[in-house]
Chains A and B, each alone.
Chain A
Amino acid sequence: MRIDNELIKNEVFICAQCHYCRVCPAYSVIKWESTSPRGRVYLLKGILKGEIDAEITAVEDFYKCTTCGACEVVCQTSIPLIDLWERARAEFVEKGKAPLPVHKKLKDYAEKNGNPYGEKREERAKWAENFALSESAELLYFAGCTASYRMKELAVNSVEFLRKAKMDFGYAGVDELCCGSPFLRTGQREIAYEFFRKNYEIWDRMGVEKILTSCAGCYRTIKRDYKEIGKELGMDWDFEVIHISQLMWSLVKSGEVELEEFGEQVTYHDPCHLGRHMNVYDEPRKVLESMNARIVEMESNRENALCCGAGGGLKSQFKDLSMEIGKRRIEEALNTGARYLISCCPFCKLHLKQASGGRIEVVDLIEIVNKHAKV
């Protein structure tokens, strides 16, 4: 197999093979080098040197990674590993070694319905039926696929909160399409570019200037990936993108929204796409602090937080591994003695709730905040 990507060609030779990246949640469970970040880098280097080809088992193991970025934080030689994994997966797809079967199925669903869940396009905005939301505004609420189809309470709470805060905002309804995150993470870049074009067109038509997401994955994709894609395609990209945790903090800080006391013992799970990928660590904690919540940090937190186990296509393709990582995170949460495990991402909430087996209450920050926002 030939590797053409320049980032890969340059960076893999910098790896010191020091194995500080053993913090990888997937490797911690599996314990085989083919799933460790350094093993994956060494494999890429071996392919470049013509010493080995990417066997099917190697490609499968390469995908046993949530792209959480824990490896990038500890990398001795500062390799941009998240980008490296995504670019390597794209190479595997281009060279016919991937996608893996379930990832391919998600793409087929998305091509047909605009979401990777195989749900009907016309049902995307069902959660918003009672809201009569505007179809044009400077501020757009982008619900994302998970909140639209699987965790509707997050979209509902977000909109209720925006109304309480007297925000003027719009929603694209059934015109909203998947942001493309699952496909960028699994190397199927083409369809993500298509979603970029279509979403961009709709936002342009609606007169959008600012995009608000309640999903950490959508936030990362629209703020970071779309900017890059726009540049690559020679399109102007001047949308401001914010995550709802940032908006909440900004409204609380300015006094525009007042929150009732929430004096519970809680622990906060940093979603990888919000924390490590986008450096948003403080705002969710500040919102909780402003409500007098007693935050007890888990053993691993902030940039060293353990991933929930769902991202990077892991949950869809390797359920058991994904669940094992989720259970480890739940153990960390239980060790804090907190009553609530709070996160800021529908995908994290969905997965951690499943992994918790009901042993701890898993909620999204927007649910707590909306419930305690004074009208």
Chain B
Amino acid sequence: MIDHIPQRSDLTQRYLYSHDIASPPIISKFFKLADVVMQPENEDDVLRILLYAKEKKIPLIARGSATSGYGGAVPYKGGIVVDFSRMDHFEVDEERKILIAEPGAVWWDIERKLNKLGLSLRVYPTSAPSSTVGGWIGQNGYGVGSLAFGSIAENVEKIRVANFEGIVETRDLRFYAGLHGTTGFVVKAWIKVKDYEDLNAYAFHVDVEEAIKIAYARKHYSALYLTRRYLEMKNMVSGNEIPEKDTLVIVTAEKLDGDEELGEEIWNDRFYPLRIRRAGPGVVAAEVLIDAEKLKAYLNSVEGFGAGTEVWFLKNSLCSVLSFMPVDERDGRSVFKYTFSLKALKEAKKLGGRVYSTGLYFSKESKSFYENFDELLRFKKSIDPENLLNPGKVFPSGSLPIIMGFLEVLS
């Protein structure tokens, strides 16, 4: 196929590289497996893979650590999964406070190195122990630090992208960030970092309205709100005894009068939202972005379904809201519980909210999700006329968007 690039096409590997963290019932049965998995070791390898795919008209699916659940890394039409785990080099320009990272570099590896240099990431995902630079830029995600610094794209100085037209280096991320590798593969990113500072976490037992006031009252680094139901679920599976009350955690360099011990306990667990899978076994999740002033109404509706929720307060009064319902995925009757994701989205949309990301499952939302969708579509067609770069993601195609739309109506 292509010499000297690590690759495997045995059934086991194809199976293992054809999913992400979501387990959607029924529809995933119709997905194809990857035809082959390739692991480029450098930019030249990526260009050779692109050339080969273009010549053979084979879909290419970029994969970081596959720790998202939107299907962005799922090769549902088959093709070559391009796993960037071997391109994980990174370095730091200490003077300019710029991280220069390959796409497979893992956020927490980076943070540990930065801390040794007296620096720190501005933002990182709550899956930082395993998720990658390329994957998070591909999703343009929010996470820890997004209250102060916004999404990852807002903190990227420039990126180097490989696609069918060769290599592009650009400071304009609009045509790449959050597009799940449908317009090219990030092969290097220059990311702004900050000075390391000692941060403290404080917990407050407050209702959601009070939480919003506290979170946005001053310039804090991060703010996380956990509902009583969510804490009940976490306690149940972990044996912890966190007070089962709606709880706000503020992470800041300031001194506040909240409960520091509890704040630290919850904060130290920030990478572990999926512990509650043990309650199912399994969970169905719903993730939306909603304006802070509509948060109370939204939480009331999802709590009504029995879901537990964690809210990350973001810049500009936006909230990232992740709700979970335990589900036993071994039980065929539980299939209807998966409509919770769609029910929650429907509620969010009524309140002016939107889905957190598009990927494969929510490509039907793209027109409203991306402000410049028409422009993006024209760009996509110009650089990838055969639709080989992660087909079916972001830009709706095939029957899946119709099925998802139908299911949303039914839900």
Measured CB to CB, the residues of A under 8 A from B are: 10, 13-20, 22, 31-34, 39, 42-43, 46, 51-52, 55, 57-58, 61, 74, 76-78
Contacting pair B16 A18 (CB below 8 A): no
In the complex, what residues of B have CB within 8 A of residue A15's CB? Answer: 277
User: How many pairs of A and B residues are in contact by the CB < 8 Å rule?
Assistant: 83
In the complex, what residues of A have CB within 8 A of residue B21's CB? Answer: 16-18
- CB-CB contacts below 8 Å: B66-85 with A: 66-67, 85
With an 8 A cutoff between CB atoms, is B65 at the interface?
A: yes
In the complex, what residues of B have CB within 8 A of residue A31's CB? Answer: 6, 39, 85-86
- CB-CB contacts below 8 Å: B37-66 with A: 39, 65-66
Question: A223 → chain B, closest Cβ, in Å?
Answer: 24
Contacting pair A76 B19 (CB below 8 A): no
In the complex, what residues of A have CB within 8 A of residue B237's CB? Answer: 77
Contacting pair A57 B130 (CB below 8 A): no
Contacting pair B10 A13 (CB below 8 A): no
A52/B12 contact (C-beta < 8 A), A18-B21, A19-B65, A78-B278 known: yes
Chain B residue at minimum C-beta to C-beta distance from A33: B16
| Cα-based distance from A344 to B11 in the complex (angstroms) | 41
With an 8 A cutoff between CB atoms, is B20 at the interface?
A: yes
In the complex, what residues of A have CB within 8 A of residue B67's CB? Answer: 17-19
| Cα-based distance from A9 to B20 in the complex (angstroms) | 21
Contacting pair A18 B12 (CB below 8 A): no
Partner of A22, one of B39, B65, B271: B65
Measured CB to CB, the residues of B under 8 A from A are: 6, 8, 10-13, 15-17, 19-21, 39, 65-67, 85-86, 106, 127, 129-131, 237-238, 271-272, 274-275, 277-278, 280-282, 328-330
A52/B11 contact (C-beta < 8 A), A16-B21, A22-B65, A31-B85 known: yes
Question: A53 → chain B, closest Cβ, in Å?
Answer: 9
> DSSP class of B's interface residues: helix, strand, loop or mixed?
loop
Contacting pair A77 B278 (CB below 8 A): yes
Question: A80 → chain B, closest Cβ, in Å?
Answer: 12
Partner of B277, one of A22, A32, A77: A77
| Cα-based distance from A58 to B328 in the complex (angstroms) | 27
Contacting pair B274 A16 (CB below 8 A): yes
In the complex, what residues of B have CB within 8 A of residue A61's CB? Answer: 12
Contacting pair B277 A14 (CB below 8 A): yes
In the complex, what residues of A have CB within 8 A of residue B6's CB? Answer: 31
In the complex, what residues of A have CB within 8 A of residue B277's CB? Answer: 14-16, 77
Question: A193 → chain B, closest Cβ, in Å?
Answer: 31
Contacting pair A39 B274 (CB below 8 A): no
Chain A residue at minimum C-beta to C-beta distance from B17: A33
Question: A307 → chain B, closest Cβ, in Å?
Answer: 19
* Of A18, A33, A78, most B-chain CB atoms within 10 Å: A18
| Cα-based distance from A77 to B272 in the complex (angstroms) | 8
Contacting pair A33 B129 (CB below 8 A): no
